[in-house]
Structure 1
Amino acid sequence: MPDLLVSPFFEVSMPEHKVSSLGITLNAGKQRISKIDFENLINLLNKKKVINSFIEMRQGAIVNLSEKRQALHTSLRDPSPEAPYSGEVHKTSDKICQFAERVRNWKWLGCRGDRITDVINVGIGGSDMGPRAVYNALRTTRPEIKVHFLASADGVAVDRLTAELDPYKTLIIISSKSFSTLETLSNCKEIFRWLKNFGFRDDDFKHHVVAVSANPKAASFLGLPDENFFPIWDWVGGRFSVWGAIGLPVAISLGENVFRRFLIGAHLMDAHTASAPIQKNLPALLAAFSYWNVENLGISSFCFLPYDERLTTLVPWLQQLEMESLGKSKTVKGNKVSEKTCVPVWGGHGNESQHSFYQFLREGTARTALDICWCEKPGHAHNDLHRVLLANAKAQAEALLKRENDDGCFNVVNTIVLDELSPETLGSLMAMYENKTAILGALLGINTFDQPGVELGKLLARKLL
């Protein structure tokens, strides 16, 4: 790789490099890169104009070349009237929040006049993982309105879910970008059958079902009025869509204030990404180290280790975000890539995983990149437990660097510390990883925003069915 000067890497040689912004501190001092290699790496990102690419994406450039589409998830969280599609985005955001508050204030009632106590989100992939991650992170211990997620076409999940819910107090959100996703439509039929078994008539469904889709015929397909329809758009990929109507269950359960603060945090991270120099740019640094580690150190996987119960569902969200976006073998020009574009993404609750797969990380025959994440301020009043949790997080950030033998297997570690897990900080954290992914795609010259490999499986499943 002629653009970089590669130094010996078997000792941690990166001087402490801390960057803080928006309540998030990245410490990259445990990366295996020398000062001169780091400078060359930053020069490479500047040479590739990755920040310019991000800015152009944010302004509405056609970046999804295979589908000839924009990628404007950033507009969903941009309060500026100058942002692309701001009119329809803000109109939809207002509709989301107004509907959520009607449900929360008992003004939207079930067909018998019951208040809504539970929401079932029927959707898979990007229609499931984003809202699931946000709900798990920000929900209270006893939410007034609980959200349940139904993703896979598995009758056990349907039975276990419906057995504990009162259909007359339940709102169902059917989320599908195309409204042709096999699993979602199949689960929709089962949920409708459940309602009919309780005596629901056709006119009752409008009190209990809403649709979220880029297909304008979704509501009429379900026999619902237009007010039960919430639009999304083909210029936002599913895995980037929690900021819009896909986030409806979050707004209903957590409220307008929390949802809008979540969007504000993400927007502030977008502004940071577009303006901060790469040496102090959180997403750009994460992308730079990811690129370096794979191309120069032979890192074979990326492991996300949150030491906080609220952040555990970010693991599958990150899996889809990075592996669906970066799992490509061709450049945007259709040529075969010359570099590794993605590694497997995995992880789990850091403290629990110490008693599960840390043996592999400490003494296994692999090279792994780790992001160890914790919150300085706990989300509870059990101070002794928090002290134990943080002691483990900080100890493992050191222990996972050390090996008994210099056998060429090792870990590289980032620590990502949140001041606290507020709606704003969560929005910033998730946008940070989204922007990291977009910057990596620009650096590698691939299309971050399509997923052609997913479509073949869908086609074959339909043929077999």
Structure 2
Amino acid sequence: MTKATASRTQLPEWQALEAHAQTLSGTHLRDLFDRDDQRFDKFSLALPHFLFDYSKNRITEETRDKLFALAKAVDVEGWRDKMFAGEKINRTEDRAVLHVALRDPSDEPLVIDGTDVRPEVQRELGRMRDLVERVRGGQWRGYSDKAITDVVSIGIGGSNLGPLMVTEALSAHADGSLNVHYVSNIDGSQIADTLKRLNAETTLFVVSSKTFTTLETMTNAKTARQWFMDNGGSESTTNRHFIAVSSNIEKAVEFGVDEDNIFAMWDWVGGRFSLWSAIGLPIALNLGFEAFEDLLAGANEMDRHFVEAPLAENAPMLLALLGVWNRNFLGYRAHALLPYDQSMHRFPAYMQQAEMESNGKSVNWAGERLSYGSCPLIWGEVGINGQHAFYQMLHQGTDIIPADFIGSITSSNTMPGHHDALMANFFAQTEAMMRGIDADQVRAELKSKGMDDAHIEAIVEHKVHPGNRPTNTLLLHKLDARTLGALIALYEHKIFVQGIIWQVHSFDQWGVELGKVLAAGIIPELEEGKSNPGHDASTRNLINYYCQNK
């Protein structure tokens, strides 16, 4: 696409959607349902692991067709095929984007820069399996010949959030043979709280850093190493207690990790899409390698669905296009993720990173400023807790915030009465956000309770719920490893599709780098107790105030 036609807003398909949005501006969701009792059948998909209901969006069949036309116009399917073929679609870093290869059991060659990466992936999976079985089986022994009881995963960003989220989400499936802990924050409180509960003789550390120079990760790793030395460890036994996941073998060996205990990271896998690789070692150690394989298998099933299903039946395409519709044509600037399952409490944070780090960009492929919105603000919390916190705003606030509701038919626990009560709220909230309650309904309700007319009129507007709030419902059959793998892959592909439509580079993260570079320069200033005069007045004085008072 030339610079003259770079903006998506110049596409006839985009302009058709803008005009179409105007025709729907006065249409309420409850009217769409009242007019068509087949709406659910038209706007839902039954997939192997979950039901996807998108009928509570402000769309018609015409809307969907126009969104498909936009996807065709920007060649989403062609770009998808390029990604799966290993073409270097991460153009700012000249890299392929192949996290999908990590969960593909195919032995068909996949060549990048003259190397078939399939054998590399299978080799690392085999090494992971061997390590997991030795640690979980008690064959891997610590320096005092005791079996490992605790694993500490040290990483940050994608090296932390993915494994942490999965470990928490599938905690009901863990057998308890190993306790897995996660440390990411450079704030010393987190690692101090973790280490004080552990025994150095029976603790294994997994340090994940592609460069093995990441400030937060290496600061925590050095603290862990010193703690190990202070509690009976030695240089000669470090290799029994430290594993590395890195592409910088030299740095990891220098740290004290045996080369046989260093697992690969590839530049064609972005950190926020890396839990399928050796970054997922803590998952496999916690759940067992078979469960990790189920996670991969579920993701691969969604990959195949994404590649093979036609647009009208393609869940990632639909989820992405609905997000574009809400963001760019209805003007909604935020999106909430609301899991109704306590074990999925880290899912919103994980997807927040995945979406906002990928598509939180403001220039297009041609390097021009976008004239339309890209990634909305992604946020969320466990749904049932949110009902007593921020749902007030979702129902009656001045901003409309679309939301994804995620729940399960089968609970991970067996507490009688709990799950039906939870799911009653799950179903009620999406209905309330769609339908709302108008002034006449409020008056009738209050009148039935015997309230006088004057009091009714004084409060009626405060009790009106406008409704017309779009939601998606993802109803899982049960939350297990295979289902979770499919769910994560669904959102990964949503991110990809939206990046193509918005014409942003989804697989770099230059916005993460600037603050890190500046922080590296400030550390010596804090150690010396004086700021560099090159800072602005605010930063300079803040640093000086800190140094003078610490």
TM-score tier after normalising by the smaller chain length? over 0.9
**Which secondary structure does the structure 1 equivalent of 2:352 belong to?**
helix
Cross-structure match for 2:356: 323
Supply the AA of the counterpart residue of 1:411.
R
Cross-structure match for 1:113: 145
Choose which of 62, 73, 80 in structure 2 pairs with 1:47.
73
Deviation string for 1:187-213 (max 9, x for gaps)?
011111111111211011111001001
Cross-structure match for 2:10: none
**Which secondary structure does the structure 1 equivalent of 2:508 belong to?**
coil
Deviation string for 1:239-273 (max 9, x for gaps)?
00000000001111111100001101001100000
C-alpha displacement of 1:333: 2.0
Q: Give yes or no for the alignment of 1:208 onto 2:241.
A: yes
C-alpha displacement of 1:404: 5.3
Cross-structure match for 1:68: 94
C-alpha displacement of 1:91: 0.4
C-alpha displacement of 1:223: 2.0
Q: Is the 8 A contact 1:372 1:413 kept in 2?
A: yes
C-alpha displacement of 1:419: 0.5
Q: Is the 8 A contact 1:59 1:83 kept in 2?
A: no
Cross-structure match for 1:438: 496
Q: Give yes or no for the alignment of 1:457 onto 2:496.
A: no
- List aligned pairs for 1:109-188, cutoff 5 A: 109-140=141-172, 143-188=176-221
C-alpha displacement of 1:77: 0.5
Choose which of 102, 112, 120 in structure 1 pairs with 2:134.
102
Cross-structure match for 1:34: 60
Task: Give me the whole-angstrom Cα distance separating, in 2, the residues matched to 1:134 and 1:215.
Answer: 26
C-alpha displacement of 1:101: 0.6
Cross-structure match for 1:417: 475
- List aligned pairs for 1:333-412, cutoff 5 A: 333-403=366-436, 411-412=469-470
C-alpha displacement of 1:311: 1.4
Task: Give me the whole-angstrom Cα distance separating, in 1, the residues matched to 2:467 and 2:359.
Answer: 25
Supply the AA of the counterpart residue of 2:28.
E
Cross-structure match for 2:544: none
**Count of aligned pairs:** 465
Task: Give me the whole-angstrom Cα distance separating, in 1, the residues matched to 2:92 and 2:216.
Answer: 25
Q: Is the 8 A contact 1:315 1:347 kept in 2?
A: yes
Supply the AA of the counterpart residue of 1:40.
K
Structure 1 unaligned runs (5+)? none
Supply the AA of the counterpart residue of 2:132.
A
Cross-structure match for 2:15: 2
Structure 2 unaligned runs (5+)? 1-13, 34-38, 111-116, 439-463, 524-550
Q: Is the 8 A contact 1:75 1:83 kept in 2?
A: no
C-alpha displacement of 1:401: 2.4
**Which secondary structure does the structure 1 equivalent of 2:417 belong to?**
helix
**Which secondary structure does the structure 1 equivalent of 2:89 belong to?**
strand
Task: Give me the whole-angstrom Cα distance separating, in 1, the residues matched to 2:85 and 2:366.
Answer: 22
* Greater shift in the superposed pair: 397-406 or 219-228: 397-406
Task: Give me the whole-angstrom Cα distance separating, in 1, the residues matched to 2:394 and 2:197.
Answer: 40
**Which secondary structure does the structure 2 equivalent of 1:68 belong to?**
coil
Choose which of 240, 243, 251 in structure 1 pairs with 2:273.
240
Task: Give me the whole-angstrom Cα distance separating, in 2, the residues matched to 1:55 and 1:289.
Answer: 21
**Which secondary structure does the structure 2 equivalent of 1:79 belong to?**
coil
Q: Is the 8 A contact 1:363 1:403 kept in 2?
A: no
Choose which of 21, 28, 44 in structure 2 pairs with 1:11.
28
Task: Give me the whole-angstrom Cα distance separating, in 2, the residues matched to 1:400 and 1:182.
Answer: 44
Q: Is the 8 A contact 1:365 1:409 kept in 2?
A: no
C-alpha displacement of 1:431: 0.4
Q: Is the 8 A contact 1:302 1:346 kept in 2?
A: yes
C-alpha displacement of 1:383: 3.4
Q: Is the 8 A contact 1:232 1:245 kept in 2?
A: yes
Supply the AA of the counterpart residue of 1:292.
W
TM-score, structure 1 length as denominator?
0.97
Task: Give me the whole-angstrom Cα distance separating, in 2, the residues matched to 1:325 and 1:98.
Answer: 33
Residues 139, 294 of structure 1: alpha-carbon distance in 2 compared, 3 angstrom cutoff: same
Deviation string for 1:170-190 (max 9, x for gaps)?
100000112111000100111
**Which secondary structure does the structure 2 equivalent of 1:287 belong to?**
helix
C-alpha displacement of 1:403: 4.2
Task: Give me the whole-angstrom Cα distance separating, in 2, the residues matched to 1:332 and 1:292.
Answer: 21
Choose which of 35, 46, 49 in structure 2 pairs with 1:23.
49
Choose which of 83, 86, 91 in structure 1 pairs with 2:118.
86
C-alpha displacement of 1:54: 1.3
Cross-structure match for 2:257: 224
C-alpha displacement of 1:53: 1.1
User: Which protein is bigger by CA-based radius of gyration?
Assistant: 2
Residues 236, 355 of structure 1: alpha-carbon distance in 2 compared, 3 angstrom cutoff: same
**Which secondary structure does the structure 2 equivalent of 1:401 belong to?**
helix
C-alpha displacement of 1:408: 8.3
Q: Is the 8 A contact 1:287 1:440 kept in 2?
A: yes
Task: Calculate percent identity across the aligned residue pairs.
Answer: 36
Task: Give me the whole-angstrom Cα distance separating, in 1, the residues matched to 2:262 and 2:175.
Answer: 29
Cross-structure match for 2:5: none
Supply the AA of the counterpart residue of 2:220.
N
Task: Give me the whole-angstrom Cα distance separating, in 2, the residues matched to 1:105 and 1:407.
Answer: 57
Task: Give me the whole-angstrom Cα distance separating, in 1, the residues matched to 2:77 and 2:273.
Answer: 19
Task: Give me the whole-angstrom Cα distance separating, in 1, the residues matched to 2:28 and 2:210.
Answer: 47
* Greater shift in the superposed pair: 49-58 or 453-462: 49-58
C-alpha displacement of 1:143: 1.7
Residues 356, 135 of structure 1: alpha-carbon distance in 2 compared, 3 angstrom cutoff: same
Q: Is the 8 A contact 2:168 2:344 kept in 1?
A: yes
Which structure's residues are more often helix, by fraction? 2
C-alpha displacement of 1:127: 0.3
C-alpha displacement of 1:409: 8.4
Q: Is the 8 A contact 1:374 1:417 kept in 2?
A: yes
Supply the AA of the counterpart residue of 1:28.
Y
Cross-structure match for 2:445: none
Task: Give me the whole-angstrom Cα distance separating, in 2, the residues matched to 1:182 and 1:395.
Answer: 46
* Greater shift in the superposed pair: 164-173 or 395-404: 395-404
Cross-structure match for 2:448: none
Task: Give me the whole-angstrom Cα distance separating, in 2, the residues matched to 1:334 and 1:280.
Answer: 34
Cross-structure match for 1:303: 336
